[in-house]
Amino acid sequence: MSKSEAQSWVYAELDRMYPPLEKGTLSPSDGPTGDPEKGTLSPSGGQIQGLGDIPECWSDLPANASLATEIGWVQANRLRIVEERTSGATVVHLGRALSPAPSWAALGWLETSIRSYAKFVDVAAKTTASDGGEAEVWRRERMALEEVRALLDEMRGEG
């Protein structure tokens, strides 16, 4: 399955599982409410609790880290730390994370993964597609070195 086919399938499944709201069904009171300082926000009726409850054992978090690091942390920890309750509330248990968040922005990506999973998956896919990883970097370096050696061999042969 190509990337565009996979993306189309995922969006079709999301539409099937979460049909769009009928036009005019939202009111201004349906927007996010709550206190972000306390880590409690209410996106369209559900609540996110515990997002701001940073464990004491975590050192001070920097504002940002690399996007790949932030997204990777969310992917590695989301299932361990996010609890979705039948009441519609979502509870985040940061103390259950495998490691401290790499930055405050990573907590923002965790919130995005809770509020709009499709958007998070899209960003994660783009991030991993553009980040070939260390193996890809080494492969490109080897190819560049081989090209330089070939040029040098060609120049020596002509001299």
Contacts for 123 with CB less than 8 Å, ≥ 6 apart:
71, 109, 112
Query: What does the pLDDT average to over 19-45?
Result: 48
**Alpha carbon distance 143, 150 (integer Å):** 11
Position 20 scores a pLDDT of 65
Query: What does the pLDDT average to over 96-122?
Result: 93
Return the domain boundaries, the chain.
33-131
Position 158 scores a pLDDT of 62
pLDDT confidence tier of residue 45, bands split at 50, 70 and 90: very low
pLDDT confidence tier of residue 40, bands split at 50, 70 and 90: very low
- Beta bridge partners of residue 92, listed in sequence order: 82
Among candidate residues 80, 69, 74, the one with its CA nearest the CA of residue 115:
74
List, for residues 58-67, the tens digit of each pLDDT value: 989 999 999 9
